[in-house]
Every structure is written in structure tokens, then in C-alpha cells.
Structure 1
Amino acid sequence: MEDSTILHDFMIEAEEIIEEAEIGLLEMDKGSDFQDNYNAVFRAFHSLKGAAGMFGLDALQSHMHKLESLFEEKKNDGTIEKEQIDYFLNGIDAAKQILSGEEIAFRHVSNFEDLKKDPTEPIQEEVLVAKKEELAEKKEKKERGFIYIVDDESEIVALINDMLSDAGYVTKTFTKAQDLLNSLDGEYPDLILSDISMPEMDGEELLDKVREIDQDLPLIFISGFITKEIMLRSLNSGAQGFIEKPINENKVLNICNILISRKRAMKLLNRSIDFIMYQFSDLDSFLEQKGKDRLRISLRDELQTILEMRKQLKDIR
């Protein structure tokens, strides 16, 4: 219903949906509240299944449908066994493989009795510990805010890093723009602070390359001297702010807070729209069966309007 960029956005969002499912299962493994975590895992399974169906990812849709159907049997139990958690965690790893275009060797079961007769391969304790640590780190970044800092002057990097770390942000620092780009492969910061004048690759070139990876990732330039020409060119390329040296701590913290809050608000809006889209195919089929063609057309038109408005908002940004 929208151009191909929505598929790219989904691939990023799918990783977050999968992480939510993993976190919920690992919380169950720790003995945390069953119902809250059950709801989080089921919601993630259902969303991923719906999205896969919308994008014609048949293998992923079928896989998630089988996981969801079996997981739903635990709804009223109030508990889940270790071997069952291992089964669903292995199933999530298989979903990641499908998203990466890999073949999977995952063995589906239709009920938990079959799983008892032929249990899935247990997850080794060291693997489980590493997975928990990785997800805990990702959860902290999401909660506190995750910022990249790049400047060829290590003193400036250290100064800004101390400011942001003291304010509660999680940071990652670089002295070369290319190293930052390499790190963006599979990692999603909330914001980038970048010097403009750097050797090998300057800030403007970095901005262009970041935009090729993520159109919505905010980037702020840091410089001791910002001309009107550089400012206009950078704003047209998608820069969202400027900080002049010497660096004012309050200004840094204020602009970081504003841009991260704005990005997260947009992300919540996008997730809400995407959730509606992911469920639309099921609703559309139901309405078709009931002969509600007029309502189907009306809902489809409304959804198309929402998607067009979102695209316009992205273009403005």
C-alpha cells in the first residue's frame, strides 16, 4: 500500500519485534510475572505473522503462525516449562534466519505432548547467559537513549561523552566517520553527533551515507565555524541541528533530549500505524466473507490516506 521503503522499515522493525519476544521469554525463564510476559510474546508473534502476510513473506508467516498457535495453548496455564521456553527461543532464532534469507532446520510440533516425546535441542547455559546479557544491553539503550559521537579530536569526543554519560545516555564513540558507518550495520542509535571537518570523510559526506542507511536517524553537526552555506546545504541534506564549539553542555543536553523524544514519538506513531496494517489483511478477509464490501473499501481508503500522510510527514522532515 506504500512504496518499497515500508518493506525496509519493516525489516528494521521486525528485529525489534523479535527482541520483544525474546525478552518476554527470558523473563518467564527468570520467573517474572507470567501474564504480562505472555501478552508481550503473543503480541510479538501475532504482529510478525501479520506483517509477514502483508509483505508476502509466506515462509515467515507460516512459521510464525505455527509458533503463535502453539504458544496460545499456554494462555491460561500461568506457567511455562523450561523445555517449552527453549523451543520458542529456538523458533525465534529460526525466524531471524528466515528474515536473513537462510534455510531453516527448525522442527515444528503441533502440541506440547509431541515436544515431550521428542524434545527440542536445549539451549546451552552459556548461550542463554550471553543472550540475556545482549538483550539487557539493548533494553538499556532503548530506555536511556543511545547516542553515537564522532570527532577526529579525541578530546572533544571524551568531553561530549562525559556530558551525555553523566546525563544517563548510553554512548558509543568514534574518531573516524567510516568506523561509525561500519557500526551502523545491525545497530540502531537514537541520534548521531558529528563533527563537520574531519579527514578522510567529512561530516557532510557522512550525513549523505547515513541517509542511505536510515532516512529518519537524526544527526547534529558540531563545529567551531559554521557558515551559512554549510548550514543551508546540511539542512537540505537532512541535518537536524548544529552545536558550535566551544561546547555548551546545556545546549547539547537540550537538543539531544528534544530530538530523541521527537524520534521516539514518531516511532510510536509508526508502530501504531504498522500494527493496524499488519492486522488489516485478517480483517479484510473477514469482511469479505461477511459481504461487507463497502466497509472494506472505506477502511482501505482511510488506511491509504493515513499512509500518504505519513509519507508526506517523512518528506517534510
Structure 2
Amino acid sequence: IPTAAYQSFTELEPALAYIREQGAPIVVKADGLAAGKGVIVATTVAEAEKAATDMLSAGTFGDAGNRIVIEEFLEGEEASFIVMTDGKTILPLATSQDHKARDEGDTGPNTGGMGAYSPAPVVTAELEKRIMDEVIQPTLDGLAADGIEYLGFLYAGLMISSDGTPKVLEFNCRFGDPETQPIMARLNSDLVELCQAAIDGELADKSIDWDPRAALGVVMAAGGYPSNYRKGDRINGLPNVIGIEGKVFHAGTAMRGDDVVTTGGRVLCVVGLGDTVAAARDAAYARVERISWDNVFFRRDIGHRAIAREE
């Protein structure tokens, strides 16, 4: 299964020696669940050393950072490839691409995701076949060889290199966030029916019907995310988006009396639909501009790679 060259460490000094040997840029990962924020793309050796020290010595990510993975920095374009399987049949879902960096131009700290769109133009029909043949099927075959009959969703986070080779960045045993929101906006089939078919081992009899339009989601976050952020701010304007095609997915929200207030870092994901990614972007941002709270933050360039392709 194609992936980056890597080594794992539980002790700091060997990790630091490996970083100095490999140089930068290099990627330092907490080898555990870290809410999508346990990956540091270090552009300098000093930055990588600090990330490794924070994880292994300072406990920045708690138990998730007791073991770290230091791996080769891969260049290319990221894509998310999610399938569902009943252990025998593999049913691919719509492709998608998210935006991990907090700031525009894909800069700033890593986050759980600041927005996403579906489909991902970088994943052509030919590339989809390669991903199925070189990544998904061998992974499920390997699990089966280990006595694990995998059933459910499998998410492969991929880097597509300039020559079109897909390399695995990560696996998740779930949908992705915020990729799920635009994918669900395009799903015409009954999700519960598909899940039941997977449980019953009957996915071979199923197909998935997708809205042919593109969907794009913009994450509206609390100022300060992914670090310290305030909670409890009243969200204004939610009734103003009724009637604009798309959907507002709530994440870090709660009711306080009659008010909807913020309770998390990523607060809302606002999704628009359109015949092109550019049109879906316009629909999403038309909704975003009608919603506000104190110190709200969002990227204004979600979908920029796909839109550049359309132009």
C-alpha cells in the first residue's frame, strides 16, 4: 500500500536524532486520536523538534502522543476517499477534498478541517480505479488475512502526487468531517438503507444515487480555533438562510433559552449546491454572510483548487 517513508518513536532522543538525520520539511504525527489536530507539518528542523518534544515530553496530546510517527513530507494534492463495505462488497462514496489548514492559501496551523467540497476533480475515473486496486482492496484483504472481517466505513486520506500516484496519509474507521457534510448534501439514496444492507451482507445488491451537482461546505469557527476559543456566543442570522438552497450543519452549538450559542471550535458547516464548484461556493458563502457571532472566523477560499481547474 503506497505511503510515505516513516518511523515510529516512543522515546524523545531517538526521535530528535531521526529528525536531524532526515531534515525538513517533515511531518510529525501523534499516533492516536487527537481530534484531527495531531499532525504537525514542520518546515524547519527546529519546528519538528518542538513538535516531537511537545508530544513525547510535554504531553500536548495526552495519551494520543505517547507514540509519534515521523514521516516523509509528501507534495501534491490531498483527497478523501471513503467507501462502505459489508466485508465482501466495496461501495465507494462520492469523492471529496477538505482544507486542513486554518488560514487562506492553505497556510497556518492544522485543524480538523475548515471546509470541503464534493466531488474532487483531482480523482478521475482512472485514479479512482487505482485507489480501489492499490489502496482500498489491499487494505481490506490485509485485514481479512489478520482475521478481521471489516464492516462499515473506511476513509482513506490520500496525497495525489504530480504523476498521479495516490499515497495514503491516514485511515479512519468513519466518515470525515467536514467532508461528510457536502457528501450528504449530494446523497439521494437512503443512508439508513445502505447501512442496513452492509450489516446484512447485501451491499452487492445496492447502488448509490448522487445529485450530479457539486456541493461545498464552509466551516464557521470560533475565533482562536484550533487553540483557545471562547464559548457561549449567541449566533445571529440562522433564520435568514432559510430559502437558500443548501444546508447548515450544526456542530459546536447548543440552545440557551431561545438562543443558539457556540459551544465548540468548529461551530457550523454551511453547505451550498451548484452546477459547478464555483456555483456551490457562491451558494455556500451567500449563507455564510447572513450568519454571525462575535469573533466568528472562516476561510474565504474554500474550493480554490477545483475552481482553478474549472477556469
TM-score (norm 1): 0.28
Higher relative contact order by CA 8 Å / sep ≥ 6: 1 or 2?
Answer: 2
TM-score (norm 2): 0.29
Higher helix share goes to which structure? 1
Higher strand share goes to which structure? 2
Q: Which has the larger radius of gyration?
A: 1
